Amino acid sequence: MLAKIINRLYRGDGHSFRSFYSGTSFRMWKDLMSHYSDLKADTKRMDHFTSLCVVLYEFLKDISLPNTMRISYIDLMKTPYDRQSELLQNYYFLCQCDRCMDENQIKYVHGATCLNKQCDEPVSIPWKEDCILVRKPEKKTEENGELATDNQTVEKIDENSALVAVNGNDSKEDALHCKECGTKYTEKHVDVFVKTMEFTHVHLQNMERASVAYVDVCQYCLDRQEGVLHPLNVMHAQTLDHAFDALIQVQLWEKACLYAEKLIPCFR
């Protein structure tokens, strides 16, 4: 398989062969090649690259940088399930990085604010039926009793991921308490949380579908989320992100900066 790929890359120009992974989406062989030499030959991209370097240099000159800089292929402000689905669809692997799999991270994804103002712990409250936050690989046992490697389970994962619902797995009684400080979530507060999540979900979907963010809609959602959704709740982060985009569109730079600052913890 690898020899085939190398052979084809060696012979071809990379533009002439496409592989479709869905009805309309495809990858070309050149996607497998290093983009580096292309970039240098392309004056338009070099132009963008040079100006980006200047801007980054100006902003980052006083900050010590790690030896390796990495870029993210996907939007971090999504649930692990959404990120994994995107990576699976576009890059053909099931991501099992710490960020996706760590229960300590996952509890923030749809977390509610603890009613105890001194407590930072997110509270898990089921708000939607069958809400799946992460894909967990199915570890199948081989005949000799050893666990199959990830490679061997990839195809199986593709068709038939073992889906684990994190929200909703807890017994209801358990889920209505803060696990850290024990503060009880009253029925009324649960109701407010559920309605806020549903409301936010609808508006985020509408904005995504229309590919446009509205300042007033975002602000209204954020007002409702205040003190209800945990500050690291991914839907709160997405609302902030949309608000930021909307304010940039209307060139309200200073206001946009306020939202950008609130977004910083969501990237960690």
Tokens of 202: 């609808």
Residue 132 CB, shortest distance to Zn ion, in Å, is 15
74 vs 165 by CB, closer to Zn ion: 74
176 vs 178 by CB, closer to Zn ion: 178
182 vs 253 by CB, closer to Zn ion: 182
Residue 99 CB, shortest distance to Zn ion, in Å, is 5
76 vs 147 by CB, closer to Zn ion: 76
87 vs 243 by CB, closer to Zn ion: 87
Q: What are phi and psi of 147, to 5 degrees?
A: -75, 140
Closest CA relative to residue 98, chosen from 134, 71, 140: 134
Residue 235 CB, shortest distance to Zn ion, in Å, is 19
Residue 46 CB, shortest distance to Zn ion, in Å, is 32
Closest CA relative to residue 127, chosen from 196, 179, 81: 196
Residue 221 CB, shortest distance to Zn ion, in Å, is 24
Each residue of 182-218: b (16+ CB within 10 Å) or e?
Answer: ebebeeebbebbbebbeebeebbeebeeeeebbbebb
Residues forming contacts to Zn ion in the complex (CB under 5 A) are 95, 97, 100, 114, 116, 119, 121, 178, 180-181, 183
100 vs 213 by CB, closer to Zn ion: 100
Closest CA relative to residue 234, chosen from 85, 117, 135, 100: 100
Residue 30 CB, shortest distance to Zn ion, in Å, is 26
106 vs 218 by CB, closer to Zn ion: 106
Distance CA 230, CA 12 (A): 52
Residue 206 CB, shortest distance to Zn ion, in Å, is 27
